[in-house]
Chains A and B, each alone.
Chain A
Amino acid sequence: MEDKKNNKLYLIGLILTIICLVLLIQLLKKSLSKNEIYDYANMESIVNVMYKGDEVVARATYMTLNDIISNYLDSYIDVNASISDGYKAYYDVLSDSYKDYLSRGQYEKRAVAFLKKFLVGENDIPAMNDVDIIKSIYEVANNEYIVKLDSNFQKEVAYIGIKLKNGNTYEITYIE
């Protein structure tokens, strides 16, 4: 009887310790991976962050970012030339800090607003204008860039933040 009671106590202790561990490790990860460049909650304008960086003219960086951006824009249109939800998968490509700030639903809303800036099409066949849209690139931290893009609408400027990581992977740090 006493043994059974002890076992239960150990089990409850184990579960509680595991829960505490999960919370503790997640907290530790968040604090360690906190992006110091963007304070998303208090950010008034991406321009302030952007102009603190150096303008990049290196063609290699331009072409690398150009390919990444083109692929992202193209995720909005499928092979049958219809609007696609391929962009939704890019939530997993957001940086951890950006994911902490944006829920999946918020990201999807924001992504659609961003992607629509490049939507063109004749006779109701949608297409993405992803040709020569990079206006300027700023390096805001090591291998971390904000790209200013030309949208279809003159008054609407678009921005995307991209961080190039080791192993030829990248994460999206910002879209507007």
Chain B
Amino acid sequence: MLDELLTDKRIKYAFFGLLAIAFIVIVYIVWIPKNNELEISKYTAYDENTANEALREKYVKTITSYMRVGNTEKLKELLNSNYLVENELTAEECINALAKNGLLSLRIEAINPITVVCGNNVLHTYIVTNGTNREKVNVFETYPNTYTMFFGDSVIYQDIDVSGVSQGVNFEISKMTVKNNQLTYEVKCTNLSSNSIVIDTTSASSVVVATKSGNVYTLIGGINSSKDVTLSKDSSINMTLDFAISMSEAFNISKLSFTDVYVNNEKVLAQIGM
């Protein structure tokens, strides 16, 4: 009788023991992701620096290869149109200048690469040289593999279309120019109300821009338009507003504020989002 009970108990222990082992094995087989073991499921992660570096290398390689073989058509396609307009140049003239300086040559090398992140854009600069002459090349990338190039100083001209109404005034920003430590906006202000409105820009803090991270920048020099401006109904004024701001910050502006605006002699704040 005792023997029988013992045998039964052993079977029971064996049963539950096997069940526990089976449970562990099943969980392991079903749950452990198999593709972690696969080589093809692994990837190399980039960070912003290595990604920008890889893209810059690619652009440099493409542009210098065009310069080495004298592929002028491809070079012309890459030229930044705003750069040509602002400098009153044609693509032909631009490429001819390169050829004249011996910069369409097999001996072209690219040196001193620098990358500046400008909001959602990236500016890569480097020097191309044939050993004797040199030229600064700027590559302005708006999206990976979408870029234009221009030569000389790193000045970015961008047509923008930002507008907003505040305190009865319509502010329209049509163009921005960004160069080393300076941002310039072309702004048209139109009085849409029946009130008499004065926009005073005589002090540095009368117009300020704020970045997404909360940094605030004031006007350079303070006076950038014809002192204070009185606008009657439907009249407008064009202003050129300069701010001392780094290139990387200039593309992160989120707000433009006019702090010295007077509506019927009452001081108000007018601001638009960017």
Contacts and interface: CB of A to CB of B under 8 A. Distances in A.
Contacts, number: 98
Contact of A6 (B11, B35, B44, B52): B11
Given A59-B55, A60-B50, A167-B36, A14 B15 contact: yes
A170 to B, nearest CB: 5
B38 A93 contact: yes
A169 B34 CA distance: 11
B19 A17 contact: yes
A66 B145 CA distance: 11
Contacts of A64: 43-46, 51
Contacts of A68: 43
B45 A60 contact: yes
B40 A59 contact: no
A22 B30 contact: yes
A67 B51 contact: no
B22 A21 contact: yes
A44 interface: no
B41 A60 contact: no
Interface in A72-100: 75, 89-90, 92-93
Nearest to A87: B40
A63 to B, nearest CB: 4
Contacts of B36: 167, 169
A93 to B, nearest CB: 5
Interface string B139-168: 000011100000000000000000000000
Contacts of A134: 144-145
Contacts of A171: 35, 41
Interface in B93-125: 120, 122
B26 interface: yes
B268 interface: no
B35 to A, nearest CB: 5
A58 B48 contact: yes
A118 to B, nearest CB: 16
Contacts of A62: 51, 144
Closest CB pairs A-B (n = 9): A59-B51, A63-B51, A63-B46, A132-B145, A60-B51, A60-B46, A62-B144, A93-B41, A57-B120
Interface of A: 3, 6-7, 10, 13-14, 17-18, 21-22, 25-26, 29, 57-60, 62-64, 66-68, 71, 75, 89-90, 92-93, 132, 134, 164, 167-171
